[in-house]
Every structure is written in structure tokens, then in C-alpha cells.
Copies of this chain bind each other. A is one copy, B any other.
Amino acid sequence: MEEKLTKKLDALATRTIDLHNRDYLLTWERSPDELHATLLAADVLRDLYLSGRRTRLFDGGLAVSNFRDNSTRTRFSFASAASLLGLSTQDLDESRSQIAHGETVRETANMISFLSEVIGIRDYIFLGEGHKYMVEVGAALDDGYRAGVLPQRPAVINLQCDLDHPTQSLADLMHLQQVFGSLEALRGRKIAMTWAHSPSYGKPLSVPQGIITLMTRFGMNVVLAHPEGYDLVPDTLELAGKFARQSGGSFAVTHDLAAAFRDAHVVYPKSWAPYRVMQERTRLLRGGENEQLAALEKECLAQNLRCRDWECTEKLMATTRGDRPVIAGEDSRNAKQALYMHCLPADITDVTCKVGEVSASVFERYRLATYREASYKPFIIAAMIVLTRFAKPAEALRTLAAGGGMRRGGDSHPRA
């Protein structure tokens, strides 16, 4: 273990990382080295945590969370990462329905940052706004830092925007890395990112967009499948294509669910709203046109219902390929089938709804695997904090590994 840790730290030290005093917003803005470094730092933090070591790199300071929606999971992942590193969480509770701009954003960004190390933002409701808002906050922080108003430059971390969901897609990638043994083992594997039926409406696009733009960078064969009309933001398709060409993987779009599942090593069936609907919705929300919003919702749900056969069933799963070791919490059947992934909560047919994204029996087989998939997120967020806040992340982490301090008094291992 100690030797493994040293290896990981050495590998981290060799990466070229241009993240110090910057933000972590979109994975496609990050170099391969930076993505690898994120996974390495997350892995080191997880190793330290699992072995009962103390992981507090900060002795005080704020981790600000700004959730423009209700989010239990991400809230807890962020709070966990903050506690892991020794930061105090403070929630910025803005009115959720308004889009702040200009002076208000510049000012608020500085007012909450005098002793802050990180600002985690989740803002995906308005297509075309979430990412823009995060960039605006980052610029205001640069402004304040340059003028010496801010003693340190807090990092903005994207906890989900309208374009990307990097903490999710990188946690998903870390999960794949663990399941298949390495990042290299993902090369040439087929992952099907597919639309799936849901009885709810307006689900964001950031997960599928995040998956197709990230997994194509690691040589995977990525297939995006959805019914006609359920398009993603066009730019993300272009990025996925470009990345596939660069990495030696592939990227294809299909409207045939069965073809997408066939021989897939990984499936990710998940609902989202069509890009054009999200645009229209933003326009209507902005104009406060409630009647038309209700009509749009009704129309969309009817459209969803016409695609109710887009469900991850046992029959579809039987057409996939396993070719990997079974992980804990999985049915033995799973070894012969694709790894099922979901960002949770899933719409489970006959369990949480009448007709959903996935059948009850498929979900139950992979239930604990999806929990495990989620378990990487706190460490990914913590890694993003370390990479953005420390000029020499490997050295900072090495002090923890070398220090030998334990996280708990007395019998210090949590499983002791």
C-alpha cells in the first residue's frame, strides 16, 4: 500500500497541471495530464481515507456551496470533500428563480470569498446560463485577487451546469477505471450512453454531454442513442467526435436502442429533455410565461410516453457483453453483461414509477454498483480542490502520506 501510494504520488508529480488559482468548469477545457492528475489525486485521497489517515490539508477556511436547485447527493459530496480537507462549509442561499448578473455577481463573488478556498456552484436550470454564470464568478474572483482584496483566489468548481457535469463524469470514469482495472483497459470498450423513458420532464443534459465528451478522450467507443428529437447541445457532439479521433476511439449517434446495447461493455441509460425544449423552456421561464410552460411540459411528457419502450430491460441487457470481473454487490449474471451505470436517482419501473428508465430486476442487480459509482464523487471534488488550491498538489498530498497522522483517536482504523 505504502509503495503504491508513493507510485501514485510520483506519477502525479510528473503531470503538467495548469489549475492553480483557476477554476474547474468543463472537462474539455482540461488537458489529458490534468484529467489524469484529477483521478490520481482522488485516488490518493481515497487511499489515505480508507487507511484511516488524516487528510486535512487546510486548518480552517470556507468551502462555499451555491446550489441553485435542491440537491441532496451533491450537497453531501461537497460537504464530505470539505470536511475531508479541513474546510468549513457555508451555504450561499440565493433565490433560485433569478439569474443575477453584472454588479451583483461581481460583488457577491468577492463578499463571500475573503476567507474562502472554494466555491462549488450547481446551476443547470437555464440552458445557456449556468456555465456563463460560473465564468462570470471566476472573472470577479480574478479581479478581486489581483487587486489584493482577496488574500487567496478561491476556485470555482462546477457541481453541474447546463453544459457539463465534471464531478459526475469523472467519478464515473474513476468507477470504470476501478471496475476494468485501469484507464488503459477502457481503450476499445463500447459504452452506450442512451436516452431512457422517464415520467418526469426537464431533466438536464449535462450528464450525457459530460459522458460523451469525457469517455471519448480515453479511447472508448462511445455510442449516443436517443429517439429522434432528443438532441443534445450540438457543440458537445462535435467535441465528442474530435476527441474520439484524437484518442483512437470512436463516437457515433443512433436512434436505435437495440443497436446501442448490442455488445456494449458499459450502458448508461438515462433520461433527458431535448435540447430545443430546454431552449424554449429557458425563454418561457425568463418571460414568466407560465401557461405556455405548462403546455410545453404537457407536450413533452406526451412525447416521452411515445418513447416508453426506451427502457433498460433484462432482454436488452442480455445482448450486451461482460468481459470483466464482477464487483462487490453484483449478481453473478453481471459478469457476462455490461456494467450498468446511473447518476441516481433512477426512475425504476414498478418501484419508483410505473414506466421508467430501467426495469426493477436490472436495477436491483446493479444497485450496490451504482452506490459504489457515486462513492467516488467526494474524492473527485476533493481532488479538484487540491489541484486548484495548491501550486504543488503532489507535495501537499505527500505531507499527508508521510505525516502518518490518523483521522481517529484510539483505535484509529474505521474498520478496526
Contact = CB atoms under 8 A, between A and B. Distances in A.
Contacts of A390: 408, 410-411
A61 B83 contact: yes
A351 B62 contact: no
Contacts of A246: none
Contact of A414 (B148, B151, B400): B151
A287 interface: no
A296 interface: no
Interface string A94-120: 100000001110111011101110000
A408 B57 contact: yes
Contacts of A107: 344-345, 371
A345 B152 contact: no
Interface in A261-287: none
Interface size class of A (residues with CB under 8 A): 35 or more
A7 interface: no
A56 B49 contact: no
A215 interface: no
Interface in A353-409: 367-368, 371-372, 374-375, 377-378, 389-393, 395-400, 405-409
A44 to B, nearest CB: 13
Given A103-B351, A147-B371, 10 more contacts: A49-B115, A59-B407, A60-B86, A72-B94, A73-B111, A83-B88, A102-B351, A104-B345, A115-B378, A393-B410
